[in-house]
Structure 1
Amino acid sequence: MTGLGYTLPAVLSVVGVCAWEHWILRTGLFRKPAYWISMAIVVFFQILVDGWLTKLSAPIVLYADRHTTGIRFPWDIPIEDFLFGFALVTAVLLRWEHRGAKDQEERRP
């Protein structure tokens, strides 16, 4: 089945991270401008690096077309890479925020 090999895990990773924040951690990270600024910086550098790695004219990293949606933007980057990037960076930042909140609670008298 087309797209399931890479697309399904990419979508599930985004859903999982968002659900983790919404129902378990509740850090409020998605409401913070600093989060969205940091994500813009991540996406900028992801486009530069991933665009170079996946360019169809001379790819360093190859993807089997049957495992992706086939949507590539910009510079031939599979859209699934952005989903995984969002999930990975967001999961790390959520953990950081959650741990920071716990540390503050422990320091209170």
Structure 2
Amino acid sequence: MPEYTVLTAVALVAVVALELFVLRTGLFRMLAYWVSMVIVLGFQVLVDGWLTKLDAPIVLYDPAMTLGVRFPWDIPVEDFGFGFAMVTLTIALWLRVTRTPRGRRTEEGR
């Protein structure tokens, strides 16, 4: 099994489970979260597509470490899963830290 693929899958499952069962910020129910993910995806396609294009790559992947599925612009699909996990974890932790135990924002978190 490709290492990058496995690590991406583990990261996805771990971050979703952490949000749903531990942090419980309600992140997945927030429209602002999903809008931010669309914005992140748009920029990820532009930047990652430029970095990984097969005709002149800047970042090289060992083919044995990925599934070999690239879409669009030659972006390894694992990059999208890793990006989703990284951004989701960051936002969830931010929400958790800036809220009081009652779920209200602190003065610093406004």
TM-score (norm 2): 0.90
Counterpart of 2:49 in structure 1 is 51
Query: How many percent identity over aligned positions?
Result: 53
Give, in angstroms, the shift of residue 88 of structure 1: 0.5
Change over 3 Å in CA distance of 1:62–1:29 after alignment to 2: same
Q: Which of the numbers 6, 9, 13 marks the counterpart of 2:7?
A: 9
- Map 1:3-82 → 2, pairs under 5 A: 3=2, 5-82=3-80
Work out the CA distance in 2 between the residues paired with 1:89 and 1:14. 11
Measure the CA separation in 1 of the matches of 2:81 and 2:24.
Answer: 21
SS where residue 36 of structure 1 aligns?
Answer: helix
Instruction: Identify if the C-alpha distance between structure 1 residues 41 and 105 changes in structure 2 by more than 3 Å, giving closer, same or farther.
Output: closer
Letter of the 2:67 partner, please give it: T
Give the number of aligned pairs: 105
Unaligned runs of 5+ in 1: none
Range with bigger deviation, 96-105 or 58-67: 96-105
> SS at the partner of 1:6?
helix
What amino acid does structure 1 have at the position aligned with 2:58?
A: I
Instruction: Give the TM-score, by structure 1 length.
Output: 0.91
- Give the distance between the partners of 1:66 and 1:106, measured in 2 at CA: 47
Q: Which string of whole-angstrom CA distances, capped at 9 and with x for unpartnered residues, describes residues 55-82 of structure 1?
A: 0000000001111001100000000000
Aligned-residue offset at 1:102: 2.5
* Gap runs ≥5 in structure 2: none
- Larger helix fraction of residues: 1
Matches of 2:64 and 2:95, distance apart in 1:
37
Instruction: List structure 1 runs of 4+ shifted beyond 3 angstroms.
Output: 103-107
Corresponding letter in the other structure for 2:49: G
